[in-house]
Each structure stands twice: as C-alpha cells, then as structure tokens.
Amino acid sequence: MAPEVSERPTGRVGGAAALGPGTDSTLCLPALPRGTVDRPRLRERLEAGVTGPLTLVSAPAGTGKTVLTSSWARRHPEDVRWLSLDDGDMAAPLWPRLVGALELGGAQVRLPDGVNEGNEPLPDALATTLAVRPHPVVLVLDCDAPLPADVAAGLDHLLRRSHERLRLVLLTRADPLLPLHRYRLAGTLTEIRTADLAFTPDEARVLLAAAGLDLSPVAADAVTARTQGWAAGLRLAALALATRAEPEQAVHDLRGDTGAVAEYLIAELLDSQSPEARQLLLDTSIADVLRPGLVEALAGPRAERDVALLAKGNVLIEELAERPGWFRYHALFRELLRAQLAYESPARLAPLHRAAATWLAGHDMVEDAVRHDAAAGAWDDAAWHVIDNLALGQVLVQQPPVLRDTLAALPADVEGVAPALVRAALALTAADDERCLNEVAQARELLAGARDGWTEAELAAECLTLAQASASSDAERALQAARAAAQLLDSAPRERLRAHPELPALIHSGDGAAQLLRGSLDLAAHAFTQGVHAGYAPGREAPVGSCLGHLALIAALRCQLRRATDLAAQTVALHQSANLHAEPNETAEIALAWVGMETYDLAGASRHTMRAAAASQGGGNDPLAATMLALVTSRVRHAHGDLVGALEVLDGARAAVPALPAWMQDELRLEQATLDLVGGRATRAVSVIEELADTANPAVALLRSRASLALGADTATPTVTGTATPLAVRVNSLLLDSHSHLTLGEEELARRAVERALLLAAPEHLRRPFREAPAEVRRLMRLDGDLLARHRWLGARGQRGYAHAPSRGHRAGEAMSSSPLSARLLEPLTPKEQEVLEHLAALEDTEEIAGAMFVSVNTVRTHVRNILRKFAVSRRNQAVRLARELNLLTAEDADRGLTPSG
C-alpha cells in the first residue's frame, strides 16, 4: 500500500504547535539577528546547491551558517522545511522529528499500515512518499552536534531512494559520516565551508555599519583582517568597539584572549572538546603553523592525526591550501589558547617552546627556532641554533631583519662561544667595530681551549672578521680571513649551505672587496662571480646584489660597456624585486652613469650620477664606488664646461676618503692631470703624474705623451696598444697619434689612426675619446664624411654634428657658404651655446637644460637669448630648424625629443 500525502496539518513533533520562541512559526526558521547582511554570492551558492540532492554547509561555530541559510530560506517559504538538532535531539529518534518537519506548511506524510515512527522501515516508506511528490522539497538540518552513524546512513538512503524529490541542506560543525566522496564524484554535492563563509571586506563594512559603527574604510578593513572575516568575531568586535570612546584607535586592541571574544571561544569551542583534544589544542597553540613532525614533537605520536580530525571537526583550524597536511589556528583562537595555556599550565610553556625550537632548528627553520628559544629564555640555545645552522649571514643581511630583531634581546651576561659570535654580528650591523672585534676575540679564546669539531663556530668567527676587515678597508686581514673561511666552507654541511646560500655569497663578496683594495681586478671579478653563483634565499639577496653591482663597476672600469649595462640591469632588477632599500642601488647607478659618460649620453650620465650620489648619502663606505662616482661626476662637469667644478669633485673625493688604496688614488690623480692639461696647466699636470704610485700603468705613458706635446714637443712618444692595454687607453693613444701626424702634416696617417680608433671603439660605442679629442682631430672627423658614414654609431648618442658632415674634400666653410641661410648666422656659437642648442633640439625646457648642464636657469636663458640673436630669429624652434639646415645639428638631434635615444 503506497503512502499518501495529505494537506491537513497535524500535531506531530515539529509542527507549528510545537514551535518555541526564536523561530518562524511558518517554517520553523531561527530568527535572524539585527543587522543581518544579505550576501548574494553565498545565497546564489545555496540556490545552485538545492538543484541537486545534497548541500553541505560545514564550518565552526559562529561562522554564520544558520544566519545565511535562514536568510535564504525566507525567500522560499513554500519549498523549504527546517529542523534544528542539538545534543539532546541526537539521543532521541530522528525520524519522527524529520517527518514532522516535512509536514510543516500543510503536507502530511501518511505511512502505510504496519509502519510507525519507531519502525526501521520508516526511511524506506518516507522515501517512497517523497518520490511521488510533484515537486521537490528542501529540508534543512541544522545540527549543533555530530550526526550518529546510523542517522547519516539513513539520510544517505533517503536521498538515494527519493528520486531527487528531497533536497537536503545540512548545516554542521563537523563533516557527517555520509559518503561525501560519492556525491563529489557524481557532481551532486555543493560545499560551503569556513573560507567561503568568511566575510569579505565589503560585507564586513556593511555589517559593522549596520551595528552602528562609523569606521573609516581602513579601520573596518583592519577589523576584518583581525577577525579573518569570522562572523561571530565581527559581531563581538562591533559590540566591543561600540562601547569605546574612540573606536578607530580601539580597533588595534582587539584580541582573542580577553572580553566577549574569549568568553565565546571558551564556551563554544574550547570547553566543548574532550580533555585529550583540549590539551592537544593548548600544547600545539605555541606554533604559528602546525607542520607534520612539529605537532608530534609538541603533543605526542598521534597528534598529527588528531589535529587533522579537529580540522575536519571545524575547530577554527584551517588546512593551508598551498601545503596539504599543514594547519593553522584562527588568529583569535590561537591567542585564546596561548593565554589559557599560560594560565592553566605555566610550567609547560618553556619545555614546549624548547621542544619546538629543537625540532625547527633540526629542519633548518632557524628564524622560528630562535623565536621559540627566546620565548623560553633559552638564549644560549638560540645562539647555537644560529651558529650550527650557518645562519650568521642571515643575521647580517636579512631584510626585513626578523632574525636580527629577535636576537637583539640577547642578554649581555649570557656567556659562551655562540652568544659572543651573535653579539659580534649584531655589533657589526650597528657599525660598532670595536665591540664586534672584542666579541670575536672572546669567542676565539673560548674556541682555542675547546675540542676539535667546532667548524661552524670557527667559520662564523672568520666570516665576521672578513666582513669587518672589508668594511674598514683592511685588505690583508680580509684576505687572510677569506682564505680561512673558504677552507672551512669545504667541510661545512652541504644541506645547511643550501639553506643559507647567503653565507658563501658573503664570503666571496668580502674576498672580492679585499681584492679590489689591492687593485687585483681579475681576482676580484672571479670572487664576485663565485658570489653570484652561490645564490640567495628570499629576503637575503644583498650579498648577491653587491657582487653583481661590483661586477658592473669592474666591467665599466675596463670599458666593457655592454657588459656593465647588463650587470647593472641585473643588479637593479634584483634590488627592486627584493625591495632591499627605498633608495636606488649605488653601484648600479654608478656603473650606468659611467656607461652614459663613455657613450657620451650626457643626460643619462647626469641622471644616474645624481641618483648614485643620493644613494651614497645613506652611509656607504665602498672605496671603489666612491672613487668611480667622483670620476664620473668630474667628467660630467668637465663635459658641461665646468672645469673648476670637475677639479673640485676630485679634491673632495680625496678629502672624504683619505685612506683610499694607492691605485684608486692614482685614478683620481690621472683624472686631475687630464683636467690640468685641458686647462692649459701642463707643468702642473707633470707634477701630478710624478706623484703616481704605479708608473707602469699604460694610462700614465699616454698622459706623459700628452703632457710632452702640450709642453712643445713635435711628436708624441709611441704608446703601448696591445690587447692587454685598456680599451680607452688604446683608443686615446691612437687619437694622440693622429694628432701628432696632423702636427707633422701627415693627414692620411692621421686619418688611418682615427679609423683604427673607431674600429676599436665601435663594439662598445665608446664615444668620449672622440668628443674630447684635440680640436684638430675633431676637425678631421667633421670634414671626413666617408669616415663617419662607415661609423654612424658615433653620432647616434651625443656626437651631434657628425652624421651629416660634408664629404671628404669639402671644407666646413665651403659647406656653410653654399647654404643660402649662411648669412643668417651672424657670428659663431660658443661651445656652451652649441650645447644649449642641442638641448633645445631635444625639446627640453629651461629647467631641464639647467639641471643637465649644472648651471642656473638664468645662465640658460642668457645662452638662449644669444642663440636667438645670432640666428636673427625670435623663437627657439626657428633656431633649431636653421641650425639643422646649417649642419649644426643632425637629424637625430631634431627628432630626439620624439623618439628614444641611442
């Protein structure tokens, strides 16, 4: 006999007559709290879910499961039935209550003869009754306690036998014992879990506003972040903030271990656990992340499985999506657990922190290990974990300095090798050399009386010595420490070096810096290259960045301009990706400025020079960087006609760093002698040359020859131009030879020398020697159109007026006179006016020209007025157009403001 469906109401359990307060008398729905927020994204998930047989809303207490589903159900009063089950209901038969819930709204389930609400055949009979309904019915089961296994099995049977006429929405704090995997595989399960229920910032702002709080968007977002969107946390936070005179400031005081939040967490989550689960929660709460292995170290061999079960039971523990098997407590719940542990079992805190530190240090997580050691007051252990794990480099270079900040609290009275070494590292980062050396000396004394096998401590001592010696420009002591550290590296554990690549990178960087002090550029480049190959870990990029930057400087110094540009770009990219500092990278900017100067991109050279100067004001003490910055700044000023300023820069560099290595002093003196020759002070230049320490430097021979010519010699002494000679010296030597040939009237030999120089300079686009060559050589190039046609690169950046020079056999004056506009140039332009004209062609305004030329705005305006007067025009663009027609500007000059240069 088939069951029948009746429309008349009955008085069974769950009917309207049995409803208590706080429910909807029509649907038996829980009442909605004031300020309920409509959440369309989740409401749409429920709408989609009830098109299939099973929708599971599984999340911890206070996440808004009931409010969300009740709010949605109110939109469908004719189709939704609601049944709430608490602990007491689980002890009584479910089926009578379920039948009663289905009868709400006027539908009665009439059971076949012999079947009553206590019989086992009831689920089958109920399924048959539902299967013949014309429309599906939605049943919401709101469970405060886990469903018994037999009830879960009965519900599964009911869903499968009702021919999709029953749509079950199950609200639960723990996943039911239903075969969820089957429903997932069939695509008939919709799941809404903790992460889905978390309020978004926009939803949270609406909720807080509905609670009467007028918070700024920043403060509202801070509340959302602090509660992680947990619904109960947001409501409790709103209640707490509403009582504060200044809720904006009180936002940052929200905690899980005090007030209403703590009371809720204790009542709804902590006290509802078994004694064993409760202790597990307390013991593991000291860890920020519950990793496999660490959990067992804290709470015993079964702890990992038990934590996973608690997560499935939705106890405000979430599994990390990116690391399956790793878990994390909700921040507020973790605060509550830690406070409860400290209150109930204060004696357990230190042993638990020590156990965590030991496990973490054994798995190369030194930063976390030291934090737990510090919490336990185990400072000697903390220091040894740093030394044994080869993490000293992390203390020196990590950004942000998390490990260093933790160790900053290391008491001064903690004795031993490791504490002394850690204090030395902290002193070094604070630029306290004396304290650093004293602590290292103390550690060495203790090591001298210790047994063998302390490789890690000895390595740390050598690294600190190397870093301090390099920073203080003590090359010999630095090299000695570098050699000792390199030997100790060979016996260090490989797996720990892989976890801390910054340590070998630091050693190679220090070795390279020491080799630079000695002037051994090849050895320095080799050391820096090894440092780059050592690699880096996130947050510890500084040593590799330093190595790349110094390789860029060495390449620039050797006139390997393309390589310098590439290395500088790598340095900048690493610097920016690591967010090492807000200011520019000094070494990269100097290398780029050097390249700009040598390729005669004066605007680029000026820009990078200023950026490098700004970066060096942060307290850098790199001798090579200081020397090269002074040299390129001086050359930029010289290129802009400021000879006095160029010399002042060199004098200032020698005064600022009096202990510069001899070879760097020589570089500054060579530049000074060059400027003296340009300024017509040949005798003074010779005196400066005599002060040089390395008279075998090929650049010295070149400068002597130039001085000899300046003092009246007929020809220059031939210079060495072999492949071992620096490129700039070889090019300048050939140009000097060209000048000598011109002096003797040997124009063809002079032209050949220029051609050879151009061929040498072409691969690197080295333009400065040609732009600053003697006037006679520059005139030769201007008049030789064929020569410049073969080397168009010479005019692509900075060499204005060359690309469109007249062909060989025509004089500049002849080319000028052939133009009908020649009479319009009333008198020749001065070099400064020519330079201003070139900037005007680049569409630069007065302020930009002044900045590029290191002159005042008024000076630029004076030059512009003179240019307009000499061209007999009234507008700047007219002057530029006429200058181009007169071959005073190239086409590239005229277009430079519209297209990228070079």
What per-residue confidence (pLDDT) applies to 18? Answer: 30
What per-residue confidence (pLDDT) applies to 878? Answer: 84
At 499-551, the pLDDT tens digits run: 999 999 999 999 999 999 999 999 999 999 999 999 998 889 999 999 999 99
At 252-263, the pLDDT tens digits run: 888 888 888 899
At residue 134, what are phi and psi to the nearest 5 degrees?
-70, -25
How does DSSP assign 384-406, residue by residue? HHHHHTT-HHHHHH-SS-HHHHH
Share of the chain above pLDDT 70, in %: 87
CB count within 10 Å of CB 108 equals: 18
Most confident listed range (60-64, 96-100, 335-339, 778-782):
335-339
What is the per-residue burial (b if ≥16 Cβ within 10 Å, else e) of 62-88? bbbbbbbbbbbbeeeeeebbbbbbeee
What per-residue confidence (pLDDT) applies to 558? Answer: 95
At 722-746, the pLDDT tens digits run: 667 899 999 999 999 999 999 889 9
CA 729 vs CA 333, 526, 630, 725: distances in Å: 71, 24, 20, 7
Q: Is a pLDDT exceeding 90 seen at residue 818?
A: no
The mean predicted confidence, pLDDT, of the chain is 85
Structure-block tokens of residue 498: 């892989």
Phi-psi map region of 745: left, alpha, beta (phi>0 left; psi -120 to 50 alpha): left
CA dihedral 88, 90, 95, 97 (to 10 degrees): 30
Q: Is a pLDDT exceeding 80 seen at residue 568?
A: yes
CA dihedral 737, 742, 744, 745 (to 10 degrees): 140
Mean pLDDT, residues 604-609 taken together? 93
Q: What is the β-pairing status of strands 189-193 and 317-319?
A: unpaired
d(CA 448, CA 429): 26
Q: Which of 426-440, 477-491, 568-582 has the lowest mean pLDDT?
A: 568-582
Q: Is a pLDDT exceeding 80 seen at residue 848?
A: no
CA 802 to chain centre: 45
What per-residue confidence (pLDDT) applies to 850? Answer: 77
Angle at alpha carbon of residue 442, lines to 436 and 448, rounded to 5°: 135
d(CA 172, CA 157): 19
What per-residue confidence (pLDDT) applies to 36? Answer: 87
Which residue spans within 96-163 are E strands per DSSP? 108-110, 137-143
Alpha helices in 744-856 (DSSP H): 747-761, 768-771, 775-783, 785-789, 812-817, 831-841, 846-853
SS3 168: strand
d(CA 198, CA 761): 65
CA 326 vs CA 252, 316, 317, 814: distances in Å: 28, 14, 10, 84
Structure-block tokens of residue 391: 């993490």
Structure-token match 């000293």, residue found: 392
Q: Is a pLDDT exceeding 60 seen at residue 82?
A: yes
User: Residue 70 — very low, low, confident or very high, per pLDDT cuts 50/70/90?
Assistant: very high
Nearest in space to 83 (alpha carbons), one of 95, 68, 71? 95
Alpha helices in 535-622 (DSSP H): 542-557, 561-578, 586-598, 602-616
What is the 8-class DSSP label of residue 23?
Answer: B
Most confident listed range (332-341, 795-804, 819-828, 888-897):
332-341
At 464-480, the pLDDT tens digits run: 999 999 989 999 999 99
What per-residue confidence (pLDDT) applies to 478? Answer: 96
What per-residue confidence (pLDDT) applies to 560? Answer: 95
Which amino acid, residue 860? V
User: Residue 814 — very low, low, confident or very high, per pLDDT cuts 50/70/90?
Assistant: very low
What per-residue confidence (pLDDT) applies to 316? Answer: 87
Nearest in space to 166 (alpha carbons), one of 131, 196, 122, 205? 131
What is the per-residue burial (b if ≥16 Cβ within 10 Å, else e) of 528-567? bebbbebebeebbbbbbbbbbbbbbbbbbbbbbbebbbeb
What per-residue confidence (pLDDT) applies to 19? Answer: 31
Mean pLDDT, residues 265-283 taken together? 92
Phi-psi map region of 312: left, alpha, beta (phi>0 left; psi -120 to 50 alpha): alpha
Higher-pLDDT residue of 125, 381: 381
User: Residue 23 — very low, low, confident or very high, per pLDDT cuts 50/70/90?
Assistant: very low
